[in-house]
Structure 1
Amino acid sequence: MATYPAVLSAKTVREAEQLWALTHGGSTWPLMVSAATSFVHRYQAAFNIRQPILVVAGQGNNGGDGYYIAKLLQQAGKPVLVFAPFGLPKQGLDAAQAMHEYLAEGGKIYATQAELTQAFVGLQTLSYQFSPTAKITYPVVIDALLGSGLARPLSQAGIDIINFINSNAQQVYAVDVPSGLDADTGQPMPVCVKATATHSFIAYKPGLLTANGPANCGELSLDSLGVETDVVLATDDKASSAAPKTSRWQYDPSFTRLPCRFGNTHKSCHGNVSVIAGIGNMAGAAIIASRAALHAGAGRVYLQCDPSHFAASLAQSPEIMFADNIHSVLASKAVLVVGPGLGRSEHARRVMTSILDPMHCNRQGLGVLDADALRYLAKHQQTVANWVITPHEAEAADLLGISAAEVTANRLVAALALYEKYQAVVVLKGAGTIVAHQAGVNFCHAGTPAMATPGMGDCLAGMIAALIAQGLSAVDAAITAVNWHASVGYQLAQTQRVVLASDICQQLKLTPL
Structure 2
Amino acid sequence: MLCSDAKLPQALYGAKIIREAEASFIASGEVSLVELIERAGQAAFDLLTQQQRLGAPIAVFAGYGNNGADAYICATLLLEAGCEVRLYAFDRAEMGEGISHAKSDYIAAGGQILEDLNKVLDGAGVIVEGLLGTGFHGEVKADFVEVIEAINHHDAWTLALDIPSGICADTGAGKLAIQADATVTFGAMKQGLLTGYARHCVGQLWFADIGLMPFLPETNSFNIAFRQSKLGLPIRAKNSHKGACGKVTVVGGDSGMAGAPRMAAESCLRSGAGLVAVISRPQHLPVINFGRPELMFCGCELVDMEVYQRLGWADVLLIGPGLGKYDWGYNLFKAVGLSDRPCVMDADALNFLSQDPYRQENWVLTPHSGEAARLLGVSVEVIEQDRFDAAAQLQKKYGGVVVLKGAGTLIHDGNLCHVAPVGNPGLASGGSGDVLGGIIAALMAQGMSNMDAASAGVVVHGVAADMAAKEGERGMLACDLFPYIRLLVDRI
Normalising by structure 1, we get a TM-score of 0.87
CA distance in 2, matches of 1:148, 1:169: 25
Letter in 1 for 2:322: G
SS at match of 1:225: coil
- Which of residues 303, 308, 315 in structure 1 aligns to 2:278? 303
Q: Could you tell me whether the CA contact under 8 Å between 2:396 and 2:414 is conserved in 1?
A: no
Letter in 1 for 2:276: V
2:434 is the alignment partner of 1:464: no
1:270 maps to 245
Q: How does 1:137-148 map to 2 (within 5 A)?
A: 137-148=123-134
1:41 maps to 46
CA distance in 1, matches of 2:344, 2:166: 37
Q: How does 1:400-411 map to 2 (within 5 A)?
A: 400-411=376-387
Letter in 1 for 2:352: Y
Distance 1:114 1:509, change over 3 A: closer
1:240 maps to none
- Which of residues 163, 186, 203 in structure 2 aligns to 1:177? 163
Post-superposition shift, 1:509? 1.6
2:201 is the alignment partner of 1:216: yes
SS at match of 1:138: coil
1:130 maps to none
More deviation in 486-495 or 458-467? 486-495
1:168 maps to 154
Letter in 1 for 2:207: L
Q: Could you tell me whether the CA contact under 8 Å between 2:57 and 2:125 is conserved in 1?
A: yes
Q: Deviations over 1:176-204 (max 9, x none)?
A: 1101122222222x311100011112222
More deviation in 381-390 or 337-346? 337-346
CA distance in 1, matches of 2:10, 2:376: 30
Q: How does 1:418-497 map to 2 (within 5 A)?
A: 418-496=394-472, 497=474
2:345 is the alignment partner of 1:369: yes
2:210 is the alignment partner of 1:197: no
CA distance in 2, matches of 1:64, 1:427: 39
1:8 maps to 13
Post-superposition shift, 1:367? 2.5
CA distance in 2, matches of 1:89, 1:174: 25
Q: Deviations over 1:398-424 (max 9, x none)?
A: 111112222122221111100111112
Distance 1:502 1:115, change over 3 A: closer
Q: Deviations over 1:231-285 (max 9, x none)?
A: 5475xxxxxxxxxxxxx11113112235544633332332111101112111011
Letter in 2 for 1:352: F
CA distance in 2, matches of 1:23, 1:145: 29
SS at match of 2:383: helix
Letter in 1 for 2:482: C
CA distance in 1, matches of 2:237, 2:36: 49
Q: Could you tell me whether the CA contact under 8 Å between 1:459 and 1:501 is conserved in 2?
A: yes
- Which of residues 332, 337, 340 in structure 1 aligns to 2:313? 332
Distance 1:92 1:439, change over 3 A: closer
Q: How does 1:57-456 map to 2 (within 5 A)?
A: 57-84=62-89, 86-87=90-91, 90-113=94-117, 116=120, 136-188=122-174, 190-228=175-213, 231-232=216-217, 234=219, 248-256=220-228, 257=231, 258-261=233-236, 263-323=238-298, 325-357=306-338, 360-361=339-340, 366-456=342-432
Cα-Cα RMSD: 2.1
Post-superposition shift, 1:90? 4.2
2:486 is the alignment partner of 1:509: yes
Letter in 1 for 2:186: F
Post-superposition shift, 1:76? 2.2
Distance 1:25 1:49, change over 3 A: closer
Q: Deviations over 1:350-385 (max 9, x none)?
A: 22222212xx33x6xx02001111111112211121
Letter in 2 for 1:168: H
Q: Could you tell me whether the CA contact under 8 Å between 1:58 and 1:89 is conserved in 2?
A: no
SS at match of 2:464: helix
Q: Could you tell me whether the CA contact under 8 Å between 2:172 and 2:191 is conserved in 1?
A: yes
Q: Could you tell me whether the CA contact under 8 Å between 2:165 and 2:177 is conserved in 1?
A: yes
Alignment: residue pair count: 473
Q: Deviations over 1:101-134 (max 9, x none)?
A: 22222222223325536xxxxxxxxxxxxxxxxx
Q: Could you tell me whether the CA contact under 8 Å between 2:410 and 2:419 is conserved in 1?
A: yes
Post-superposition shift, 1:331? 1.9
Q: Deviations over 1:311-330 (max 9, x none)?
A: 11211312111246321123
- Aligned-pair identity in percent equals 34
Q: Could you tell me whether the CA contact under 8 Å between 1:202 and 1:223 is conserved in 2?
A: yes
Q: Could you tell me whether the CA contact under 8 Å between 2:173 and 2:198 is conserved in 1?
A: yes
Q: Could you tell me whether the CA contact under 8 Å between 1:288 and 1:505 is conserved in 2?
A: no
Letter in 2 for 1:498: G
Q: Deviations over 1:454-509 (max 9, x none)?
A: 01111100000011111111101111111111121122223222321111123212
CA distance in 2, matches of 1:152, 1:92: 22
CA distance in 1, matches of 2:311, 2:385: 38
CA distance in 1, matches of 2:235, 2:93: 56
CA distance in 2, matches of 1:375, 1:318: 31
Post-superposition shift, 1:206? 2.9
Q: Could you tell me whether the CA contact under 8 Å between 1:59 and 1:90 is conserved in 2?
A: no
SS at match of 2:160: strand
Letter in 1 for 2:395: Y
Q: Could you tell me whether the CA contact under 8 Å between 1:90 and 1:96 is conserved in 2?
A: no
Q: Could you tell me whether the CA contact under 8 Å between 1:47 and 1:140 is conserved in 2?
A: no
CA distance in 1, matches of 2:52, 2:91: 25
Distance 1:168 1:349, change over 3 A: closer
Structure 1: 5+ residue runs without aligned partners?
A: 118-135, 235-247
SS at match of 1:349: helix
Letter in 1 for 2:77: L
